Structure 1
Amino acid sequence: MLYIFDLGNVIVDIDFNRVLGVWSDLGRVPLALLQKRFSMEESFHQHERGEISDEQFAAELGQQLGLALSFEQFTAGWQAIFVGVRPEVISLMNQLRQRGERVVVLSNTNQLHCGFWPTEYPEVQQAADKIYLSQEMGMRKPEARIYQQVLDEEGFTPDQTIFFDDNADNIEGARKLGINVVHVTDASVIPDYLASRL
């Protein structure tokens, strides 16, 4: 079987309020105001596909939020999203590989975050056979083509594949292709799902 794991809130806990909290402090803009203004618009999607630079994304998001931050300040907040790895998921990924299953990560991410989490959480790369990143592939979940490319490169059919993600749209995108999906709504979902399979 091919097991595809998302990264954020699947393998590594993330919290966007931490990002806004740092920007609120640095930019002296109330957190509640930033939370109200924040939305994932097209620039987010372009950044995750690698279509715009980190600097351009920072400028566009700063404009959307009414924040006057240096790029360094923006980056300091942007990296605050990472809370910590879920060790039980890392352990299960390693167990799957020891059993001879294929384990990969498929993440909607961006260049800035990829300069941070691989060194902060080296165990993620060590627990995966391969890591697929949206900004390197030029596409993002829930686009059908990103799932299809992973299947094609890995040599598995949808019915031989299990996909774990916390985002309902991403889950639905994979389901439409016939991939077996598991919606990760909290940290107990993956251990519970795999308990009977390992």
Structure 2
Amino acid sequence: MTARVDAVVFDYGGVLTNPVRDSIAAWIEADGIDPDSFSRTLKAWLSRRAQDGTPIHRLETGDLTVAEFDTLIAAELDTVDGRAVDPVGLLARLFAGMHPDQAMFELAGELRGLGIRVALLSNSWGDIYPRELIDPVCDPVVISGEVGLRKPLAPIYRLTLDRLGMPADRVLFVDDAEPNVLGARAVGMQALLHTDAETTRATLAGLIPGLSRRPA
């Protein structure tokens, strides 16, 4: 990534928040979910080899409600003691341990202060977005369930670029999932695989003049 960067587009879960895997691990422990059954279901519904139209795809594009998805995924999961999985509020429990990463929101604010456009592009698993934090720093906000498109397919990246009004090569996309990073690169965007706030800030500081490698 050596081209000029005029805009940075962030994913939400796992980028502007703590790692989603931490929240999932806490839910698996609290609900007594058999981890293998969750991994098996996630692979069948979300892996690169998954056929189009899985329940996760339909949830992300708004074709399934959260309650409908909760029922479908609960039927696929097992518990360690053989109890039935309670579908009511399942996704809410799964995401209960996910919270905004203050360091990443501070980074987004600093980017705006330097004249860099900041946007959000997220695949939605329900309404998990603290808009009171997101809206002051991200414009546009593109959420898959609201636009009927999903990553890593090209149309949602192109929609985000259209709303930014910028050429793809001037826009840097940041996501914690490699397929989504590859999807952004496929439409000509620069893209960065996020691991933590410190590493992402350091990478951006090497691309954007005036951005400190350390928080102010």
TM over 0.5: yes
1:1-198 equivalence runs, <5 A: 1-16=6-21, 18-19=23-24, 21-22=26-27, 25-26=30-31, 29-40=32-43, 41=45, 42-66=54-78, 67-72=84-89, 74-82=90-98, 84-111=99-126, 114=127, 116-118=128-130, 122-196=132-206, 197=208, 198=211
Alignment root-mean-square deviation, CA: 2.2
Query: Cα deviation per residue 1:127-172 (whole Å; 9 max; x = unaligned)?
Result: 2123110000101100000000111121111111111111111111
Identical aligned residues as a percent: 26
- How many residues align? The count is 189
Query: Normalising by the residue count of structure 2, what TM-score does the alignment of the two structures yield?
Result: 0.78
Q: Which has the higher helix share?
A: 1
**Code of the aligned partner of 2:107:** L
Distance 1:81 1:139, change over 3 A: farther
| Paired residues of 1:24 and 1:34 also in contact (CA < 8 A) | no
> What is the CA–CA distance in structure 2 between the aligned matches of 1:96 and 1:76, rounded to whole Å?
31
Q: Which has the higher strand share?
A: 1
- How much does 1:123 deviate? 2.4
Query: Normalising by the residue count of structure 1, what TM-score does the alignment of the two structures yield?
Result: 0.84
> What is the CA–CA distance in structure 2 between the aligned matches of 1:141 and 1:96, rounded to whole Å?
24
**Code of the aligned partner of 2:118:** V
Q: Could you say what secondary structure the match of 2:197 adopts? A: coil
> What is the CA–CA distance in structure 2 between the aligned matches of 1:13 and 1:61, rounded to whole Å?
23
Q: Could you say what secondary structure the match of 1:39 adopts? A: helix
> What is the CA–CA distance in structure 2 between the aligned matches of 1:190 and 1:20, rounded to whole Å?
24
> What is the CA–CA distance in structure 2 between the aligned matches of 1:25 and 1:89, rounded to whole Å?
28
Q: Could you say what secondary structure the match of 1:68 adopts? A: coil
| Paired residues of 2:7 and 2:172 also in contact (CA < 8 A) | yes
> What is the CA–CA distance in structure 2 between the aligned matches of 1:101 and 1:6, rounded to whole Å?
16
